[in-house]
């Protein structure tokens, strides 16, 4: 299944994207895609439901983030060797872990707002993993059993906040609008191998990133298992797994997002999204 949320910001309803690309409203079957939905067997309920009377969703309706506010959003930094090298950073011996504020989460095609005073806002196409059941001290062999699904994520970053304030990564990652998620969450059965997915990103039509999750330093199973040794992963939690080379920081001279820029991205099997950059208006 491909889970979507649609409607005005803060008033989204749950839906599904069907195989032909059309969309339906399933709010008569489930209330919303929340941590409780995953914890209480919502995917199984939805899979077994009769969808024949579900109304269609218009093609031009806004898509929201793939789920309503998760408990936490955990990210893995420098998880592609080429990305670490372009940033002049050592290839990590174990996963680099940081949190991204859940208040940064927006719909896949919502505007990205450049923070007040920012001069170094950057892009990062990433594979997001949605946890489906409570995971604590899980093995790599069992790790994928805990996955509800996967989605496209743009892990926007303000590099000055991230790297020039004594290494305060969260400050550069959690700004409002810095986590567009979607267009949909593909359930785990739809993605045969999360460690073999092509991914790309363009700015104003120019290719910047062109990679594959085959180049993970730490693959999806390893990341889930690793995190579960240090924290309990709860249903609905999101893990963002890192980005390949081609971010703005890695160019010489560096390239950063300007108002009016259009950032397009996609991952094989997980659709595409596009954000337009806007200047902060306080």
pLDDT of amino acid 88: 81
What's residue 81's pLDDT? 84
Tokens of 176: 């409002």
Question: What ranges do the domains of the chain cover?
Answer: 2-57, 73-279
149, 190, 170: which is closest to 66 by C-alpha? 149
Which segment of 85-99, 113-127, 192-206, 221-235 scores lowest on mean pLDDT? 85-99
Residue 232 contacts residue 135 (beta carbons within 8 Å): yes
Bridge-based pairing state of the strands 179-180 and 206-212:
unpaired
Query: With 90 as the cut, is the pLDDT of residue 89 above it?
Result: no
Asked if pLDDT for residue 135 goes beyond 90, the answer is: yes
**Is residue 180 very low, low, confident or very high in pLDDT (cuts 50, 70, 90)?**
very high
Q: What angle do CA 99, 270, 49 make, to 5 degrees?
A: 100
User: What does the pLDDT read at residue 144?
Assistant: 98
Quote the mean pLDDT of the chain.
96
Output the CA–CA distances (angstroms, integers) from residue 218 to 12, 51, 180, 201, 226, in the order listed: 34, 39, 23, 21, 10
- Please give the pLDDT value at position 40: 97
pLDDT of residue 282: 83
Asked whether the beta carbons of 96 and 170 are under 8 A apart, the reply is no
| pLDDT at residue 108 tops 80 | yes
For residues 14-35, give the mean pLDDT: 97
Give the architecture-level CATH label for domain 73-279.
Alpha-Beta Complex (3.90)
pLDDT tens digit sequence for 197-251: 999 999 999 999 999 999 999 999 999 999 999 999 999 999 999 999 999 999 9
What is the pairing mode between strands 271-279 and 112-114?
Answer: parallel
**Band of the pLDDT at 86, cuts 50, 70, 90?**
confident
Q: How many CB atoms lie within 10 A of CB 14?
A: 25
Longest dimension (CA), the chain: 56
pLDDT of 265 above 90:
yes
User: Residue 82's pLDDT band (boundaries 50, 70, 90)?
Assistant: confident
Q: pLDDT-derived band of residue 110, with 50, 70 and 90 as boundaries?
A: very high
pLDDT at 168 over 90: no
What pLDDT does 267 receive? 98
């Amino acid at each position: 299944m491909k889970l979507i949320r649609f409607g005005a910001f803060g008033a989204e309803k749950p839906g599904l994207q069907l195989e032909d690309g059309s969309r339906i409203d399933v709010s008569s079957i489930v209330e919303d895609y929340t941590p409780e939905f995953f914890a209480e067997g919502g995917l199984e309920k939805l899979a077994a439901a009769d969808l024949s009377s579900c109304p269609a969703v218009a093609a031009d309706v806004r898509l929201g983030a793939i789920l309503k506010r998760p408990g936490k959003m955990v990210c893995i930094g420098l998880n592609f060797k080429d990305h670490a090298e372009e940033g002049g950073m050592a290839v990590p011996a174990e996963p680099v872990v940081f949190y991204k504020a859940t208040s940064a989460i927006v719909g896949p095609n919502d505007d990205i707002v450049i923070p007040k005073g920012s001069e170094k806002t950057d892009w990062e196409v990433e594979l997001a993993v949605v946890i489906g059941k409570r995971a604590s001290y899980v093995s790599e062999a069992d790790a994928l059993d805990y996955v509800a699904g996967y989605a496209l994520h743009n892990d926007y970053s303000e590099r000055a906040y991230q790297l020039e304030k004594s290494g305060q990564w969260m400050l550069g990652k959690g700004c409002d609008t810095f986590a567009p998620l979607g267009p949909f969450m593909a359930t785990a059965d739809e993605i045969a191998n999360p460690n073999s997915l092509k991914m790309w990103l363009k700015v104003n039509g120019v290719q910047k990133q062109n990679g594959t999750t085959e180049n993970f330093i730490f693959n999806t199973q390893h990341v889930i298992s690793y995190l579960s040794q240090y924290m309990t992963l709860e249903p609905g939690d999101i893990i963002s797994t890192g980005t390949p080379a081609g971010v703005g920081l890695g160019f010489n001279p560096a390239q950063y997002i300007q108002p009016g820029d259009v950032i397009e991205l996609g991952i094989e099997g997980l659709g595409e999204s596009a954000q337009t950059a806007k200047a902060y208006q306080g």
